[in-house]
Structure 1
Amino acid sequence: MKSYLAAAIQMTSQPNLQKNLAEAEELIELAVRRGAELIGLPENFAFLGKEEEKLKEAKVVNEKSQKFLKTMAQRFQITILGGGFPVPVEGDSTKAYNTAILVDSSGTEVARYQKVHLFDVDVPDGNTYRESSTVMAGQNLPNIYPSEQFGNLGISICYDVRFPEIYRHLSHQGADVLFIPAAFTAFTGKDHWKVLLQARAIENTCYVIAPAQTGNHYERRYTHGHACIVDPWGTILADAGQEEGMVIAEIDPFRIQQVRRQMPSLQHRVFI
């Protein structure tokens, strides 16, 4: 595996599917022009609105999101992660799965993950989030996708970042790169976002690619931004700040090997 460039895209998605997809396409094209071959879109990239509104639009958002990702992958000859969109639950019109999929350059879906940990939290800024009111929790831990071009890729979604066991599961399978697409709240993000990303990178000696949402999406819904790419030593290679756009960084397999020689903690695990 050779070194390559990866991009983490940062958006301010709205309750407007067509507008979001058009903006995502612009950012993907810009990332490709800058040399990115592996690109991640944030959680809720296609639609970020009230939970009941998202559920109502879930069928259309699901269909158009999947078509969009496959079209982008083929057009630009990239591998792309759609970091989270609603997929209706068969037989239950009140719930959808928060789903991330990875699509390769042929337009083929190669990995799928349904978010396991749901964000049911009363945030101290006065906002209350009840993701479980409209989202069905996934029942399976993610598996890595072994890519000759990009290494072993692991997928998670947003709130998962607070549960290190999911990343230990991925590293036990041999993960080299961990995707953590998010729509992290502005209040919690300022204190926890970067620390958690660095922790997941350090403890698993993996690169972390963390696409993000930023800014005001509707009413009082604000997200933190700061899409990041972090290296296996925990160094933040790129940080998007709070503006829409992207970050790009080199993913270097030699760096992974170097860090794992310097700090062989994965070899010293007692409990797996």
Structure 2
Amino acid sequence: MASAYLTASSSTALGVPHPTLRCAMAGGLLSLEACLERCIPPEDLAEVKRILYGGEARKLNLPAAALSAAQERDFELQGYGFEAAPEQLRRPRIVRVGLVQNKIPLPTDTPVAVQVAALHRRIEEIVEVAALCGVNIICFQEAWTMPFAFCTREKLPWTEFAESAEDGPTTKFCQELAKKYNMVVVSPILERDEIHGGTLWNAAVVISNSGAVLGKSRKNHIPRIGDFNESTYYMEGNRGHPVFQTQFGTIAVNICYGRHHPLNWLMFSMNGAEIIFNPSATIGSLSESLWPIEARNAAIANHCFTCAINRVGTEYYKNAFTSGDGREAHHELGYFYGSSYVAAPDGSRTPGLSRVQDGLLVVEMDLNLCRQVSDKWNFKMTGRYEMYAEKLTEAVQPHFVPNIIQEVSNAAVSVSETPQPLKGPEELCLLLLLQCRSRQASKGSNFNFPGCPASSHPASQHTQSSPAVPASCPAVRHKPARAAALRNTEPRLGAASLPGGHRAAAGATGTFPAPGARRRPQDLPGGP
């Protein structure tokens, strides 16, 4: 069905994709959408798209001049729109974004300056078409000025593609585009930070429609999987989760591998992002099954629009490389499968761009939809952020104990034939708790041992009738084999502190030894 596309390319009739176009390098499919159009009966197609994409995005009526230019310049052009309900007190907040995916136009062993110049020319002719389509914010793919050569682990010539984020040639180039077309430009590059020793970063420069550099975002998560040897060149970003206020809305940039980290999306959203761009470079054998899910899920969970962008094509490197994964030396990272798309906060999404071809996706969105969906689902209101923050703070500590509930039976504390060394006050607490359980449990009262970490737990939790003990109780960390040693040891406590009149050795101090501390002879019954 030709109406399912607003597309232009040299390999199609204007607006009508060829139904049998194939590409072996991409696994045989131009796009998932082309396959659906070809194989699903028309009477079922609308329902299939509803299930796959949620509410169907409105097709944009793009200018004929833009469609014609895209065809002449050999890239795909698609346009879709997301609606929001009309409101009484707020006007619609309409913005058009553009997502660009492309192949590198020259071989990877072409001189660096020549490759960069060729990519600048390619992007400029796509941005010109985006301007014809009324795009307000445009974002390019990850490290768009170079081959994604970080698989090779070679330093030269790849580090020569690095530039200053503030005043490098690519930033100046993008500043001119921004001013010329009144367009915010998101330009992901390999950054060289000369102020801090020439350090390299995977970064995205955000340039205002006025031409001013608003700032930059750095890649927070660096992959160490397969041939993605990026930590050979740069490490995790150090700028947190910045959000940029533009004339057209608040935006953020979650670069590539951050897509796999839900909390990374969350933090951009917490800082107020309405649109989060995800410029990427990822290959089919690794992530294509995850690609349609992750950015879409982030849009739903964070009440915002997300824009997933991936490059296309295969990039060949003269020197073969390996990554210690048992594979033979090879010259390619893999096939970059494109498929760029936009997801809305209500869970709907656009179809993706081609898996094999350069493309521009133009998406019109009403940012009022973000708050409307938030008011409906209330994920920000119902999220237990204070609880998550508290537990995450505990989880990063070296002595974190997971909260796992375990079954504890009476047999678990039976006398062992082989006494074990004592470790800490929790085991002493356990012995006393078990000795007194029959008396105290019947009263339903709590144990109250001064200095005892387990004293906050009700006695009934430590009785034979209770099948489980909360894992948060330190007493569950005992080992049965230590019961014999525990049975013959009294803590140095005042008699008044012990239930049932248990008495301590004379001269007790009322304190337990620190966890893991060795017992001195004078600390044990009958000691000096």
TM-score, normalisation: structure 2? 0.48
* Structure 1 Cα separation of the partners of residues 300 and 381 of structure 2: 14
The residue matched to 2:279 in structure 1 has which SS?
A: coil
The Cα offsets for residues 77-113 of structure 1, whole Å up to 9 and x where unpaired, read as: 100101x2111243656x5111101101111111311
Question: In the alignment, is the contact (CA less than 8 A) between 2:339 and 2:354 conserved in 1?
Answer: yes
Aligned AA for 1:56? E
Following TM superposition, by how much is the alpha carbon of 1:136 offset from its aligned partner in structure 2, in angstroms? 3.2
Cα distance in 2 between the residues matched to 1:267 and 1:12 = 43
Match in the other structure for 1:140: 239
Structure 2: gaps spanning 5 or more residues: 1-91, 109-114, 317-330, 387-528
Q: What pairs up with 1:48-67 in 2 under 5 angstroms?
A: 48-51=147-150, 52=155, 53-59=157-163, 63-67=168-172
Q: Give 1 or 2 for the bigger CA radius of gyration.
A: 2
Deviations along 1:54-90, one digit per CA (max 9) or x if unpaired, are 21332489822111111110111100101x2111243
The match for 1:181 is: 279
Partner of 2:96: 5
State the shift of 1:258 in Å. 2.2
State how 1:32-111 maps to structure 2 within 5 Å: 32-51=131-150, 52=155, 53-59=157-163, 63-82=168-187, 84-90=188-194, 92=197, 95-111=199-215
Q: Secondary structure at the match of 1:180?
A: strand
Pairwise CA distance, 1:49: 4.4
Percentage of identical aligned residues: 20
Contact 1:214 1:223 (8 Å CA) reproduced: yes
In the other structure, the counterpart of 2:346 is: 233
Equivalents in 2 of 1:89, 1:108: separation in Å?
Answer: 19
State the SS of the aligned residue for 2:234: coil
SS at match of 1:220: strand
SS in 1 for 2:290: helix
Q: Which has the higher contact order (CA 8 A, sep 6+)?
A: 1
Counterparts of 1:139 and 1:253 in 2: how far apart (Å)?
29
SS in 1 for 2:342: strand
Q: When the two structures are aligned, how many residues end up with a matched partner? A: 264
Q: Distance in 1 between matches of 2:365 and 2:289?
A: 26
Contact 2:221-2:258 within 8 A present in 1 as well: yes
CA contact (8 A) 2:176 2:211 kept: yes
Amino acid at match of 2:134: G
Contact 1:13 1:44 in 2 (8 A): no
Residue 29 (structure 2) pairs with residue 29 (structure 1): no
**1:245 and 2:245 equivalent?**
no
Aligned residues of 1:208 and 1:231 also touching (Cα < 8 A) = yes
TM-score, normalized by length of structure 1? 0.90
Counterpart of 2:332 in structure 1 is 220
1:238, distance to aligned residue in structure 2 (A): 4.1
Change (3 A) 1:154 1:49: closer
Q: Cα distance 1:28–1:75, how it changes in 2: closer, same or farther (>3 A)?
A: same
Pairwise mapping of residues 249-264 of structure 1 onto structure 2 (< 5 A)? 249-264=363-378
Q: Which runs of 4+ in 1 moved over 6 A?
A: none
Cα offset, 1:234, TM superposition: 2.2
Residues 59 and 110 from structure 1, CA distance in 2 versus in 1: closer, same or farther, beyond 3 angstroms?
Answer: closer
Relative distance call for 1:18 and 1:87 in structure 2 (3 A) is same
Aligned equivalents of 1:118 and 1:97: distance in 2? 11
Determine the C-alpha separation between the residues in 2 that align with 1:217 and 1:37: 31
Task: Structure 1: state its 5+ residue gaps.
Answer: 123-127
**Which position in structure 2 is the counterpart of 1:125?**
none
Mapped to 2, the partners of 1:60 and 1:17 lie a distance apart of: 14
The equivalences for 1:137-176 within 5 A come to 137-147=236-246, 149-176=247-274
**Which whole-Å deviations, capped at 9, do the CAs of 1:145-198 have from their partners, x for residues lacking one?**
123x32221111000111111111111122211111111222223211111111
Supply the AA of the counterpart residue of 1:249.
V
